[in-house]
Amino acid sequence: MEALKKGLRKLMQRTGAGPGDLVIMAAVVLLALYILVLTLSVRYTSRTTEPLQQTAESAAEDPGSAAADQPAPTDADAESAAAAETTEAATEAPSGDPVVERALADMTLEEKIYQLFIVSPESLVDNATSCVTESGNLTRAALESKPVGGIIYFAQNLQSRPQTTDMIANAQHYARDSHGIGLFIAVDEEGGVVARVADTLGTTAYSPMATYGKQGDTAQVREIGADIASDIAEYGFNLDFAPVADVNLSSGNELGDRIFSDDPAVVSEMTAAMVEGLQESGKVSATLKHFPGLGAEDGNTHYDETARIDRTKQQLAAEEFTAFRGGIAAGADFVMVGHQIMSCAGDDLPSDLSGVVVNDWLRGDLGFQGIVVTDAQNMNTISGTYSAGEAARMSIQAGVDIVLIPTDLNAAYQAVYDAVESGEITEERIDESVRRILTVKARHGLIG
């Protein structure tokens, strides 16, 4: 310490600096040392991390270089990875459209649940009339108290061009005026033998779909889809329950020449083309039906008490799933699930009541994220075994978004409402379906 003091006195004598000047000099020296240490530290860190970043970037740009030192993946590895990616995609929540989210936030539970039903116009008005051909005071009052997701019209409801246009326009006005959300206006317009609008109102008629499947002309099928959409949109229809995506595997099935082909690849290509044509204008949504496939059936779901199809999961994946993948990849807004019991599902339930079929297969294996609708639940394979309330509740629990034509709308609604109130079905589960419904409705300009 004494030596330090002597050194400082000598320094002051030589430089003429006072004690205060030395303090300042010392501070400057310390600051310089601090900056030097900090600079060296940053340079060291950069040298150690930059090579790692470059390695990661190189791997991303050239995946083959990283894979070169790894064992080649097996088919099982590839299938597992694909299944994992598909399942992950299937469980992702739809992106939040502000219009959709605002509409959803403003809805009551009652309004949400009614959106889960598409009904006949007669069912909507509690069958007060046997055939609805106009949207008058009964329809207005019904839509005010029961804001359903949509109405499906059949040939008996369509009498003339002006009558059909006015009936649909008035129903849309009543729905939007009372609750701010428009209706899906649905029809079965496949072409061929199932063509409600062509048969009654004289729009362009087409041959059975098997004809075009044999020709293999996807461009022609796409054009047919676009023409059908243009024809039905003119009247106000915005949802077509077409095309048929089943594969013709059994001569005993109920669909016959409504099916494009017995070749899954042909069905896949044709349904994709039809979906693209129907949806290209943005005015009409297409529906793939009847998942997981009625083509191997030997019966009729309209009249039989049950319809059971004995198929392995491997058979389904190779044929029926292949056919449906085409339309799903083309962006079909809807997939209709049928009432057939699939033996390999293992739950002995009609497909539209089966979580295995809807969640595991359609959402999981095929990655479908659009709207899942049941086939009409007034058909005997459902109505002959289940009450309207049971069928609706089980469908929603299975992952279905929309129940089509329950035998009793009031009972079906009440069963779902009670299940939510009891906690058997969560409101979050209801919101999932309503969000999907509103997302498509927003694209059709049906919100607000």
pLDDT of res. 19: 53
Tokens of 286: 């297409």
pLDDT band at 299 (very low <50, low <70, confident <90, very high): confident
pLDDT attached to residue 29:
47
Q: How far is it, in rounded angstroms, from Cα 442 to Cα 386?
A: 34
Buried b / exposed e along 25-42 (16+ C-beta atoms within 10 A): eeeeeeeeeeeeeeeeee
What distance in Å separates the CA atoms of residue 88 and residue 80, rounded to the nearest whole number? 12
Q: Is the pLDDT of residue 390 over 70?
A: yes
The per-residue pLDDT for range 318-365, each reduced to its tens digit, is 999 999 999 999 999 999 999 999 999 999 999 999 999 999 999 999
Task: Quote the CA–CA distance of 97 and 240 in Å, as a whole number.
Answer: 24
Which region holds residue 127: left if phi is over 0, alpha if psi is between -120 and 50, else beta?
left
Whether the predicted pLDDT of 209 surpasses 90: yes
Q: Is the dihedral of CA 360, 366, 369, 375 positive or negative?
A: negative
DSSP 87-132: HHHHHSPPP--HHHHHHHHH--HHHHHHTTEEE-HHHHTTTSSSS-
Of 6 and 307, the structure prediction assigns the larger pLDDT to 307
Contact 323, 268 (CB under 8 A): yes
Mean pLDDT of 391-412: 98
Q: What residues are annotated to the active site?
A: 302, 375
- Cβ neighbours around 17 below 10 Å, total: 14
Task: For the chain, give every domain's residue range.
Answer: 2-61, 97-443
Q: Residue 365's pLDDT is what?
A: 98
Least confident among 9-18, 312-321, 324-333, 419-428: 9-18
Beta-bridged to residue 151, according to DSSP, are 119, 185
DSSP string for 408-425: -HHHHHHHHHHHHHHTSS
Whether residue 16 is predicted with pLDDT greater than 60 in this model: the reply is no
317, 362 Cβ separation under 8 angstroms: no
Q: Using 50, 70 and 90 to split pLDDT, how confident is the model at 88?
A: very low
Which pLDDT score is estimated for 23? 47
pLDDT of residue 26: 55
Task: Select the CATH number that applies to the domain covering 97-443 from these four: 3.20.20.300, 3.30.460.10, 3.40.120.10, 3.40.50.300.
Answer: 3.20.20.300
User: For residues 277 and 221, is the Cβ–Cβ distance under 8 A?
Assistant: yes
CA dist 370 to 82, 211, 395, Å? 20, 29, 16
Which residues, listed in sequence order, are joined to residue 187 by a DSSP beta bridge? Answer: 240
Indicate whether 197 pLDDT > 80.
Answer: yes
What pLDDT is recorded for position 30? Answer: 55
Angle formed by the axes of helices 388-398 and 409-422, nearest 10°: 50
Local structure of 185: helix, strand or coil: strand
What one-character DSSP code corresponds to residue 181? B
Confidence check: pLDDT of 80 > 80: no
Question: Looking at residue 429, what is its pLDDT?
Answer: 98
99-104 average pLDDT score: 96
pLDDT attached to residue 4: 45
- DSSP, collapsed to helix, strand or coil, labels residue 392 as helix
Percent of the chain's residues with pLDDT above 90: 76
- Stretch (H or E) spanning 326: helix 320-329
Please, which pLDDT band fits residue 303 given cuts at 50, 70 and 90? confident
Residue range 250-263: mean pLDDT, rounded = 95
pLDDT digits (tens, 9 = 90+) for 35-73: 444 444 433 333 333 332 333 333 333 333 333 333 333
pLDDT at 414 over 50: yes
Please report which confidence band the pLDDT of residue 417 belongs to, taking 50, 70 and 90 as the band edges: very high
